[in-house]
Amino acid sequence: MTVSAAAPRVRPGLDLAAIRADFPILARRVHGKRLVFLDSAASAQKPRAVIDAEREVYETEYANVHRGVYWLSERATASYEAAREKVRRLLNAREGREIVFVRGATEAINLVAQTFGRAFLAPGDEVLITEVEHHANIVPWQMLRDEKGIVLKVAPVDDEGDLDLDAFRSLIGPRTRLISVAHVANALGTVLPVEAIVGLARERGIPVLLDGCQAVQHQPIDVQALDCDFYVFSGHKLYGPSGVGALYGKAEWLEKMPPWQGGGDMIRSVTFDKTEYNELPWKFEAGTPNIAGVIALGAAVDYVQSVGYDAIASHETELLGYAVRELSKINSLRFIGRPRRRSGVISLALEGVHPHDIATILDREAICVRAGHHCAQPTMTRFGVPATVRASFGLYNGHDDVDALVAGLRKVQEVFGL
Ligand code: PMP
């Protein structure tokens, strides 16, 4: 098949007009206006290369993987496994067998909680997270707490939304068995000091899981340089399809961890007396996977790499700086969190206006922002708000989007007489 339709194109710098032309949905008008999409942290839009890759799987080489001896199944299997190699390279994992395809970051963290957690955690053992985690990195550990009596420790952030590293250090104790933290916090945009966190963990021999859901679309990831034990992300935030993501795990851990779900593909042999499990990574991929989704995720990886992380990061950093500067000019606007290192996300409030009202008025201007708790209710509690308005940025956003947001917020002020 021609997944090569998604083959990298070399582009020096970031040509915003060309990028936007790659995303068909951005040409769509909403309420008769240009679409201003500022909700990529919830889910990013898809370039044509990804849409085409998924469609082409179904049109040209769809069959179940790892099962058939016929040509079509072998082709589908080859493309599926080629996508694994693309993700391996994206994360710079040592081996392809360290990449497990899952439904997304949520499933990846649950997999670790249920397998690593069941096998290696005993009552009284501690898992250390931070105050700014997504629910996906809180609830699985609470479930394990209820099941196994583990202890969940939570490291605080300061008023800017930055991790209090001294407090974090002091929460690491002799019973700490796993540290599980966001690489970038989804409600505030804080880039957590993951190098320092892994450093502290290494000194004490504690494994680390990094939730890269809000990182992998903005910056290059090197799991070997980071030296984390697990890294998880969702394809749909990386301009890929929803319903597919990846868990990276060091082979030495994945080898030792028991399988999670049982079923087809994860076995080598089954009798009613005994089942032998498959080798990595298939031991963790029970059942028919999201075949076309995985292959299209490979196309998303190709796409991001063809644009280049240098170009993406410099474009987005400049854009975030511009957005913070312009938004600062709006009186009655309050930033929720002003982290030292920020990536992709700005959370804000307008005094006296409910975030949902703000988002509704912005919608009339075809501006898509997220209003709510962003699946991070403890973060909201920390900042004393029920919800925020969150503008989040992708590689297709530009100054015009920021200007539209600022104008939209001024309109909100007018409506509420602020
Ligand atoms: N972690 C973080 C930091 C996130 O931003 C998200 C998605 N908002 C998740 C985990 C969960 O991702 P998914 O819903 O794709 O499984």
Whether 222 and 284 have beta carbons less than 8 Å apart is answered as no
Chain-centroid distance, C-alpha 406: 27
Quote the pTM value. Answer: 0.96
* pLDDT band at residue 418 using 50, 70 and 90 as cut-offs: confident
Ligand 1 atom with the smallest distance to the CA of 106 is: 16
Going from the C-alpha of 390 to that of each of 73, 90, 148, 370, the distances in angstroms are 43, 28, 36, 5
- pLDDT surpasses 50 at 4: no
* Averaged pLDDT for residues 212-234: 98
- pLDDT surpasses 50 at 6: no
Known active-site residue 213: no
- pLDDT surpasses 90 at 2: no
Report residue 24 as tokens: 């068909």
| Minimum CA distance residue for ligand 1 atom 5 | 186
Going from the C-alpha of 221 to that of each of 209, 308, 346, the distances in angstroms are 14, 13, 22
106: CA distance to ligand 1 center in Å?
6
Predicted confidence (pLDDT) per residue in 21-68, tens digit: 999 999 999 999 999 999 999 999 999 999 999 999 999 999 999 988
* Averaged pLDDT for residues 293-308: 98
Domains of the chain: 16-46+308-412 (3.90.1150.10), 53-305 (3.40.640.10)
Question: Taking CB atoms and a 6 Å cutoff, what residues make up the pocket around ligand 1?
Answer: 104-106, 134, 136-137, 182, 186, 211, 213-214, 234, 375
Percent with pLDDT over 70 in the chain: 97
> pLDDT at position 323, please?
98
234: CA distance to ligand 1 center in Å?
7
Predicted confidence (pLDDT) per residue in 266-290, tens digit: 999 999 999 999 999 999 999 999 9
Choose one of 101, 110, 141, 186 to mutate for the ligand 1 pocket test, by most ligand atoms within 8 angstroms of C-beta: 186
> pLDDT at position 68, please?
81
* pLDDT band at residue 5 using 50, 70 and 90 as cut-offs: very low
Q: CA nearest 190: which of 231, 160, 228? A: 160
Q: CA nearest 263: which of 286, 285, 247, 240? A: 286
* Averaged pLDDT for residues 148-175: 98
- pLDDT surpasses 50 at 8: no
> pLDDT at position 65, please?
96
Cα–Cα dist 46/53, whole Å: 11
Ligand 1 atom with the smallest distance to the CA of 109 is: 10
Q: At what angle do helices 71-91 and 291-307 cross, to 10 degrees?
A: 40
Burial class (CB in 10 A: 0-12, 13-18, 19+), 50: buried
Mean per-residue pLDDT over the chain, rounded: 96
* pLDDT band at residue 12 using 50, 70 and 90 as cut-offs: low
> pLDDT at position 119, please?
95
* Averaged pLDDT for residues 95-107: 98
Ligand 1 atom with the smallest distance to the CA of 103 is: 16
Helix, strand, or coil here: 403? helix
In the beta sheet, which residues pair with residue 372?
388
Whether 137 and 211 have beta carbons less than 8 Å apart is answered as yes
Cα–Cα dist 308/306, whole Å: 5
Residue 103 phi, psi dihedral angles, 5° rounding: -75, -30
- pLDDT surpasses 80 at 1: no
Choose one of 210, 214, 244 to mutate for the ligand 1 pocket test, by most ligand atoms within 8 angstroms of C-beta: 214
Ligand 1 atom with the smallest distance to the CA of 104 is: 16
Task: Write the CB contacts of 355 (distance below 8 Å, at least 6 apart in sequence).
Answer: 349, 371, 372, 387, 388, 389
> pLDDT at position 13, please?
75
* pLDDT band at residue 360 using 50, 70 and 90 as cut-offs: very high
Burial class (CB in 10 A: 0-12, 13-18, 19+), 325: exposed
